[in-house]
Structure 1
Amino acid sequence: MRNIRAAALSAVTLSLALTATACGGGSSTGGGSNDSPKTLTYWASNQGASIEVDKKVLQPELDKFEKQTGIKVKLEVVPWSDLLNRILTATTSGQGPDVLNIGNTWSASLQATGALLPWDAQNFGKIGGRDRFVDSALGSTGVAGKDPAAVPLYSMAYALYYNKQLFAEAGITKPPATWGQLVADGKKIEAKGKNGLGAEGSNLSNNIHQVFVLGKQHGADFFTQDGKPDFTSDGAVAAVKQYVDLMAKDGIVSPGNAEYAQNQSLSDFAKGKTAMVLWQTASATFKTLGMKDSDWGVAPAPVQSGAPGTDTQVNSMVAGINMAVFKNTHNLDGATQFVKFMTSDTEQKILNTAYGSIPPVKSAQSDPAFNSQGTAVLRQTLATSAQALPQVADESQFETAVGTAVKELFADAAAGRAVTTESVKAKLAKAQQQMPAK
């Protein structure tokens, strides 16, 4: 194992080198060091259609927490384009929040920095126990065999969302179950003057999620069993090429999508410009964007053939948001109380209903809200055909390096440059060279 501080510095250096977005630390009172014991700082991830939507969802709950405990929570909703860099910088500078949301795929990488509070049996006991949470969510909280670096907050899975009216106009009677069917349906949509499938070529995290799933379907992973990067295997190359070929070869993704970032494809879908989108837990966002529930349908994400399941039939990564506490907080008791509040049954129902996600808390899942059109497919996917991204220390660098490679390949496709097996492999080889040396 590398020294944990070296791991953190390596992560920061790589992430800054590969990401154009400037990053900053947390508040000047980082870790609550100058805050009152009755104050917490909280970085929330952008879950809704906009940062303003998140503030409207979260602030009433934070006010409720303050009324119950006397502890005021200072909220900052951080865009996904900034969040990882902000967190990585905070792990080395100490200028971070008390409590924060993290993408669950980053858990092992952030665990390796040593900056986050480990959730051992004693800490879990303060929030009601580890066994309150479903196993699939706990599987994305850090390296197996170690105390988790975070606690599950929202669980999500990918699904295929489709516009019912555009399908009917194209003569499509049911959603596609395989990639071949999806491409064929997308071409029917294109023939009617609409976009077949939405994508976000500049959204690095979404790029990774899609190609990881396709990698599993091609019998490949992006890491070896001992945690070393393996980006250029035949299966990994085939996965990336298949995804980019939706634009480059199949023509069902608009070239303009190469520049799309978070939620832009959902906006097109909501406006009736695009017939299909592969997304994690999108129903609440559609409502915010003005769609009626009757306007769209949802089906399991495609597989190569047959039905979703395990191994090469995986059709989603285990998506979700975890809640972490910086170890250097000067208000550990308050931070723990806040995590307990946010993962309580009552708040789990309120927050996951607002975001269209699934509670990772077992006792909260029984609410009828989580068996609706927008959530039933997601629950089934999480239970039967989703797999967690590799829980390795270099996972966050993987997202940046390979996500950027996919972004560059989409740019090639949009510009009319050939996307070949060789060019895909070259991009992935470059990405692998950028990973920290073992």
Structure 2
Amino acid sequence: MRRIRAAVTGAVTLSLALTASACGGSADAGGGQAKKTLTYWASNQGSSLEVDKEVLRPELDRFERETGITVRLEVVPWSDLLNRILTATTSGQGPDVLNIGNTWSASLQASGALLPWDEKNFGAIGGKERFVESALGSTGTPGQDPAAVPLYSMAYALYYNKKMFQDAGIDEPPTTWDEVVAAGKKISKDGKWGIGVEGSNLSNNIHQVFALGKQHGADFFTPDGKADFTSDGAVAAVKQYVDLMAADEIVAPGNAEYAQNQSLSDFAKGRTAMVLWQTPSQTFAAQGMTAGEWGVVPAPVPSGTPGQGAQTNSMVAGINMAVFKNTKNLDGALKFVKFMTSDAEQITLNKTYGSVPPVKSALTDSAFSDPSLKVIRDTLAASAAALPQVPEESQFETVVGTAVKELFADAAAGRPVTTDSVRAKLEKAQQQMPKK
């Protein structure tokens, strides 16, 4: 995903807006075949593309039996998905329905390429009121009709290795950042480390410093949408995150190069004791870690009690489902979105993927009463905040995520990470944003 982020603000805003009329690739000119087929690009939610196909195919077959509409499925890796969306709009060979990361909603909305979810379109899938409010907060620019509807909801939590905590004499999992550092220092010796990070993963960097920014009173954008990366709160948030390696020394220097879930692998193999992640239970199991070996608590906040404002502990993570505005099979696309957001499908798919439903009536199902999922539900309900819903959000992820990556590289190399050096990196990032 990193290699395409820089193109988002310019390419998404311009290319999609200019070529949206080319979309709707599953239809023929007369519309006959269009009524019977849909093309769907699904995001990679499972441990592999093949796993996703195995999960989704039976559900899509069920939809075909109910409606007579065949769904042509392609599971697209996250590293390719946004670039594929851009290419589709210029080539005219695009899907009817697709998954998008919820942080892309405002950027893609600004292009005009996606179907607006007005009252009529929401009515076709059962109404806007079916969805959890926090999930709707990441579907587009406030005050406009959403560009997508929520499909899977996730949030960050702190996962910890029970045995490593026991061996270090730590009786309770940490709930504050001071406790995280204290626990990490007890564990960080003899080749083991306190907590893992993905220092070269731009999106993950943003997710973590955004929550820390909220805890320091920073939003990274002003109310009128201007970049505000150099405020004291923003600088403090970035420095606190990088200092887990630079000053606290509870993160292995090699984590500065991690970008592809290596921190999860280290956690599963007992090399690090803690990790901040989104619903990774499926990943742990895929690497041979049993449910009894790990525990989960809400991501830390200064007071130890998550909430709003300075007690925000996660961004609202998740996947949205969008429809290209110029699909030749709008009726079929709406039927498919209704199917995928139905209670039955929400329960089946979110249970399988370890996420939680953004549909209120499905969220109350007993399948999501597990203590590990309760942490996610509670976080989304009370202490998560949506990333800035501005057209430049994706460029924000690129430039600030890169600044954090470079600061981790400095820390790994033993170069000092100071308030001044952090501010300088963030000033450079802000200069790369569009002027308003």
Fold shared, TM-score > 0.5 on shorter chain: yes
**CA shift at 1:11, angstroms?**
2.8
For 2:41, give the aligned amino acid: W
Distance 1:107 1:183 in 2: 35
Which residue of structure 2 aligns with residue 152 of structure 1? Answer: 150
Which residue of structure 2 aligns with residue 43 of structure 1? Answer: 41
What do the CA deviations read for 1:230-272 (whole angstroms, capped 9, x no partner)?
A: 0111110111111111112211111221221232221221222
Q: Cα RMSD over matched residues?
A: 2.3
Q: Find the residue that maps to 1:321 and give its secondary structure.
A: strand
Kindly indicate whether residue 340 of structure 2 is the aligned counterpart of residue 342 of structure 1. Answer: yes
Kindly indicate whether residue 322 of structure 2 is the aligned counterpart of residue 324 of structure 1. Answer: yes
- Does the aligned pair in 2 maintain the 1:162–1:277 contact within 8 Å? yes
**CA shift at 1:155, angstroms?**
0.9
Q: Residues 292 and 391 (structure 1 numbering): CA distance in 2 closer, same or farther, change over 3 Å?
A: same
Count of residues paired in the alignment: 422
For 1:300, give the aligned amino acid: P
Distance 2:406 2:74 in 1: 31
Distance 1:80 1:199 in 2: 19
Match of 1:31 among 11, 25, 28: 25
Which residue of structure 1 aligns with residue 11 of structure 2? Answer: 12
Distance 2:211 2:138 in 1: 16
- Does the aligned pair in 2 maintain the 1:94–1:328 contact within 8 Å? no
**CA shift at 1:300, angstroms?**
0.6
Bigger mean CA deviation after superposition, 88-97 or 162-171? 88-97
**CA shift at 1:297, angstroms?**
0.5
- Does the aligned pair in 1 maintain the 2:9–2:395 contact within 8 Å? no
Match of 1:189 among 187, 202, 206: 187
For 1:48, give the aligned amino acid: G
Which residue of structure 2 aligns with residue 21 of structure 1? Answer: none
Which residue of structure 2 aligns with residue 141 of structure 1? Answer: 139
**CA shift at 1:91, angstroms?**
4.3
Q: Find the residue that maps to 1:31 and give its secondary structure.
A: coil
Distance 1:193 1:257 in 2: 13
Which residue of structure 2 aligns with residue 111 of structure 1? Answer: 109
- Does the aligned pair in 2 maintain the 1:133–1:362 contact within 8 Å? yes
Which residue of structure 2 aligns with residue 20 of structure 1? Answer: none
Distance 2:307 2:12 in 1: 38
What do the CA deviations read for 1:314-352 (whole angstroms, capped 9, x no partner)?
A: 111111111001112122122111111110100000110
Which residue of structure 1 aligns with residue 4 of structure 2? Answer: none
Which residue of structure 2 aligns with residue 68 of structure 1? Answer: 66
User: Equivalent residues in 2 for 1:31-430 (5 A)?
Assistant: 31-34=25-28, 36-37=33-34, 38-91=36-89, 93-430=91-428
- Does the aligned pair in 1 maintain the 2:8–2:394 contact within 8 Å? no
So what's the TM-score if we normalise by structure 1?
0.91
What do the CA deviations read for 1:117-139 (whole angstroms, capped 9, x no partner)?
A: 00111111111111111111111
> Tell me, which stretches of 5 or more residues in structure 1 are unaligned?
1-7, 17-24
Q: Find the residue that maps to 1:47 and give its secondary structure.
A: coil
Bigger mean CA deviation after superposition, 327-336 or 85-94? 85-94
Distance 2:123 2:24 in 1: 26
Distance 1:397 1:373 in 2: 36
Distance 1:228 1:93 in 2: 33
> Tell me, which stretches of 5 or more residues in structure 2 are unaligned?
1-6
- Does the aligned pair in 2 maintain the 1:241–1:424 contact within 8 Å? yes
Q: Find the residue that maps to 1:191 and give its secondary structure.
A: coil
For 2:59, give the aligned amino acid: E
Distance 1:76 1:34 in 2: 19
Q: Find the residue that maps to 1:32 and give its secondary structure.
A: coil
Q: Find the residue that maps to 2:212 and give its secondary structure.
A: helix
What do the CA deviations read for 1:122-161 (whole angstroms, capped 9, x no partner)?
A: 1111111111111111111111221110000011111000
For 1:83, give the aligned amino acid: L
Distance 1:168 1:15 in 2: 55
Q: Find the residue that maps to 1:322 and give its secondary structure.
A: strand
- Does the aligned pair in 1 maintain the 2:23–2:92 contact within 8 Å? no
Percent pairwise identity: 75
**CA shift at 1:70, angstroms?**
2.6
For 1:12, give the aligned amino acid: A
**CA shift at 1:63, angstroms?**
2.3
Q: Residues 415 and 15 (structure 1 numbering): CA distance in 2 closer, same or farther, change over 3 Å?
A: farther
- Does the aligned pair in 1 maintain the 2:13–2:108 contact within 8 Å? no
Q: Find the residue that maps to 1:347 and give its secondary structure.
A: helix
For 2:26, give the aligned amino acid: G
Bigger mean CA deviation after superposition, 46-55 or 148-157? 46-55
- Does the aligned pair in 1 maintain the 2:23–2:326 contact within 8 Å? no
For 1:410, give the aligned amino acid: F
What do the CA deviations read for 1:278-297 (whole angstroms, capped 9, x no partner)?
A: 01112222223322111110
Bigger mean CA deviation after superposition, 345-354 or 267-276? 267-276
For 1:283, give the aligned amino acid: S
So what's the TM-score if we normalise by structure 2?
0.91
- Does the aligned pair in 1 maintain the 2:100–2:321 contact within 8 Å? yes
- Does the aligned pair in 2 maintain the 1:100–1:324 contact within 8 Å? yes
- Does the aligned pair in 1 maintain the 2:313–2:384 contact within 8 Å? yes
